[in-house]
Amino acid sequence: MTLVDIEVGLERQRGVLDLQSIVESAAEFLEDAPARAIIRWAAATFGDRLCLTSSMSDALLIDLVSRVKPGVDVLFIDTGYHFAETIGTRDAVEAVYPVNVINVTPSRTVAEQDRDLGPRLHGRNPDLCCFLRKVEPLNRALEPYLAWVSGIRRDESPTRANTRVVEWDAKRQMVKVNPIARWTQDEVDNYIADNGVLINPLHYDNYPSIGCAPCTRQVAPGEDPRAGRWAGLGKIECGIHL
């Protein structure tokens, strides 16, 4: 290892420590702040090295962030398994909102994955399929940024109950901003209605939580909204937010 390598490593370590310090203070200061104030803080702090991710279930987060930071990068993971309605929502978002949609793709097409690992990997090993088609592509796409904005909420699942509005994403060594972490489903529905937010039409057909087509089913009345994701597989997260 050269002296230059050591200096680069130390500088990177100092940068990580600085970001972690920012997270600790911001998480406490912004806990009770409105979503738009949290986004304003993130935009002012990270500038063009801030992005957001969207599954194109709806454009609520896109609407919120673009009002504060027009032109923001929106990362959409095109797994190759999406419903046609989800791809249509992505295209509509790109046409309607002042954002830069970036289509993120896995390193292998579905056909190449079937060839290399066998067909229907999502049914045999859903964790591996999610990693290859969601987690790894997103990790690559996030590398240029210092912080990313997520739309996860505490009331969505037990694994998200302790979500903070600003967190340290240790896995990716960056800041994660969750401006609607405290929102309820009623608040989400009201914002969408009041602001004419684009939503994926599958919501009107009993798909309250939308993922890849092979791993998402309709939800019956009274079922948990996420019951249609990986039904029967004992899985509730794709791995992006773990």
**Residues involved in catalysis:** 238
Inter-residue contact 96 to 199 (CB < 8 Å): no
Instruction: Order across the sheet with 50-53: list the strands.
Output: 100-104, 73-77, 50-53, 147-149, 174-177, 166-169
Residue 77 β-bridge partners: 104
Q: Return the closest-CA partner of residue 201 out of 102, 99, 83.
A: 83
Q: What angle do CA 167, 173, 179 make, to 5 degrees?
A: 25
CA gap 234, 227 in Å, rounded: 10
Work out whether strand 73-77 and strand 174-177 pair parallel, antiparallel, or are unpaired. Answer: unpaired
For residue 89, the one-letter residue type is T
Q: Residue 128 is encoded by which pair of tokens?
A: 């591996």
The backbone torsions φ and ψ at residue 19, rounded to the nearest 5 degrees and listed phi first, read -65, -40
Q: Residue 130 is encoded by which pair of tokens?
A: 């999610």
